[in-house]
């Protein structure tokens, strides 16, 4: 009974890790395929969140029966928590710097409300609109 | 001799003031992280020691590096919190597929930066909404305008007005979920008072009068 359960868990874990890896691969392809910084930020940071979570779930499923001394489920929870909390911060800073230093391809922008606002305000980029 | 004593006393009051600033919920949160790091959730005597030690370390950190308190603090509504987490997770999965489809669609992908005005006046909700919007694929926070409570969101593959409105509505939906899960009663009331339709009407009105 427990052996079949182990096999099932194994398969679920394998599928989770596989799906996570595929999502990370998609992120890599998107990084090469998209032309400008902001679009690349999307693929660099996002499918990876789900990909990483799936890989962690996969590892967790295999770790529950086999307790190692290196890390346990708590460590995985911490990894997931800090990844999800820090990715937006890094993404925001990168996007903001990219925008403020003019590394944005205008031809790819269909609609840009931030630029409109900056123009109407006469705000010099980098003068600290957001504090 | 008296000077030394005086110095000691001022030091003590300063320490007491610092200790008074320790936010217990935050310290408890740090203790939880400590326990997770050192495998504290096992039934053994060492776990109790880990708990005490973790709490002491948390208090020490907060005395050495005091942080401004989060005001107003979060009010937890458990049922809505679970619904919020499920909603965010479903959004992540759905949006991951959308971005994947976009990656494999040939041709140029055009994007938009959309200004989304928050309906509530709390920093906590704004930060949480920004983080969640950043985690969900397809949206990325470019700029935050805190005095006006506006988030500037970069949306992948969004070019016509209809899609822009849909994106704006999605961010609003996210905000509503966060307010329902963590907001104070005032926040919830503010949310009810200024729905997205009203906001839009007001904005259109302003747009007509503006330059």
A2: closest CA of chain B, how far (Å): 23
Contact A15, A8 (CB under 8 A): no
DSSP characters for A27-54? HHHHHHH--SHHHHHHHHHHHHHHHHHH
Where is average pLDDT lowest: A59-63, A102-106, B66-70, B179-183? A102-106
The C-alpha atoms of residue A9 and residue B150 are separated, in whole angstroms, by 46
Contacts of A87 in chain B (CB under 8 A): 134-135
Work out the average pLDDT over B163-176. 85
Partner-chain contact A114 B39, CB within 8 Å? no
B144 in reach of chain A (CB within 8 A):
yes
Q: Which tokens go with A27?
A: 């992120």
Partner-chain contact B100 A47, CB within 8 Å? yes
Which pLDDT score, from 0 to 100, does residue A1 have? 53
Q: Which of B95, B99, B143 comes nearest A96 by C-beta?
A: B143
Nearest CA in chain A to B88: A50
| pLDDT above 70 (res B140) | yes
What residues 22-51 of chain A have any CB closer than 8 A to a CB of chain B? 23, 26, 29-30, 33-35, 38-39, 41-43, 45-47, 49-50
Which pLDDT score, from 0 to 100, does residue A15 have? 92
- Residue B30: name the closest of A78, A88, A89, A80 by CA: A78
Contacts of B40 in chain A (CB under 8 A): 74
Q: Which of A85, A110, A113 comes nearest B111 by C-beta?
A: A110
Contact B148, B115 (CB under 8 A): no
Domain boundaries, chain A: 2-121
| pLDDT above 50 (res B157) | yes
Contact A12, A59 (CB under 8 A): no
For chain B, the average pLDDT equals 79
Work out the average pLDDT over A51-76. 77
Partner-chain contact A38 B111, CB within 8 Å? yes
Where is average pLDDT lowest: A1-15, B2-16, B51-65? B2-16
Q: How far is CA A104 from CA A19, A38, A112, B56, B142, in A?
A: 32, 8, 11, 48, 12
The C-alpha atoms of residue B28 and residue A77 are separated, in whole angstroms, by 17
Work out the average pLDDT over B21-29. 80
Q: How confident is the model at residue A126 (pLDDT cuts 50, 70, 90)?
A: very low
Contacts of B115 in chain A (CB under 8 A): 113-114, 117
| pLDDT above 80 (res A70) | no
A57 in reach of chain B (CB within 8 A):
no
Which pLDDT score, from 0 to 100, does residue B11 have? 79
Nearest CA in chain A to B156: A39
Which pLDDT score, from 0 to 100, does residue B29 have? 86
| pLDDT above 50 (res B47) | yes
Nearest CA in chain B to A96: B142
Burial of B165 (0-12, 13-18, 19+ CB in 10 A): middle
Contact B164, B172 (CB under 8 A): no
B94 in reach of chain A (CB within 8 A):
no
pTM reported for the whole predicted model: 0.74
Residue B82: CA atoms inside 13 Å, Cβ hemisphere, count? 2
Q: Bridge-partner residues for B172, per DSSP?
A: none
pLDDT in tens, A1-50: 577 887 888 888 899 999 999 988 888 888 888 887 778 877 776 667 88
Nearest CA in chain A to B149: A130
pLDDT in tens, B77-120: 888 889 988 998 898 888 888 888 888 888 777 788 888 888 87
Helix (H, G, I), strand (E, B) or coil at B112: strand
Contacts of B160 in chain A (CB under 8 A): 110
Partner-chain contact B135 A84, CB within 8 Å? yes
Which pLDDT score, from 0 to 100, does residue B210 have? 41
């Amino acid at each position: 009974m427990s052996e079949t359960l182990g096999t099932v868990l194994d398969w679920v874990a394998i599928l989770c890790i596989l799906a996570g890896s595929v999502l990370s691969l998609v992120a890599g392809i998107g990084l090469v395929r998209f032309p400008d910084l902001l679009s690349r930020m999307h693929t660099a940071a996002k499918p990876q969140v789900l990909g990483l979570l799936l890989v962690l779930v996969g590892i967790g499923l295999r770790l529950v029966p086999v307790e190692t001394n290196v890390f346990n489920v708590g460590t995985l929870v911490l990894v997931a928590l800090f990844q999800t909390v820090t990715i937006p911060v890094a993404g925001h800073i990168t996007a903001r710097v990219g925008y403020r230093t003019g590394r944005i391809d205008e031809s790819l922008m269909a609609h840009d409300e931030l630029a409109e606002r900056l123009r109407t305000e006469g705000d010099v980029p980098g003068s600290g609109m957001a504090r | 001799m008296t000077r030394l004593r005086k110095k000691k006393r001022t030091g003590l009051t300063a320490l007491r003031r610092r200790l008074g600033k320790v936010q217990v919920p935050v310290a408890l949160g740090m203790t939880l992280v400590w326990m997770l790091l050192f495998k504290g959730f096992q039934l053994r005597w060492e776990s109790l020691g880990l708990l005490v030690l973790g709490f002491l370390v948390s208090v020490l950190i907060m005395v050495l590096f005091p942080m401004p308190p989060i005001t107003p603090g979060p009010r937890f509504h458990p049922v809505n919190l679970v619904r919020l987490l499920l909603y965010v997770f479903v959004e992540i999965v759905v949006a991951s597929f959308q971005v994947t489809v976009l990656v494999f669609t040939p041709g140029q992908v055009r994007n938009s930066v959309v200004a989304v005005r928050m309906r509530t006046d709390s920093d906590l909700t704004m930060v949480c909404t920004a983080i969640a919007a950043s985690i969900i694929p397809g949206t990325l926070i470019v700029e935050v305008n805190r005095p006006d409570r506006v988030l500037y969101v970069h949306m992948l593959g969004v070019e016509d007005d209809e899609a822009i409105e849909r994106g704006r509505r999605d961010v609003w939906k996210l905000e509503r979920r966060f307010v329902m899960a963590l907001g104070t009663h005032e926040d919830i009331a503010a949310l009810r008072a200024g729905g997205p339709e009203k906001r839009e009407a007001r904005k259109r009105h302003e747009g007509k009068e503006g330059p």
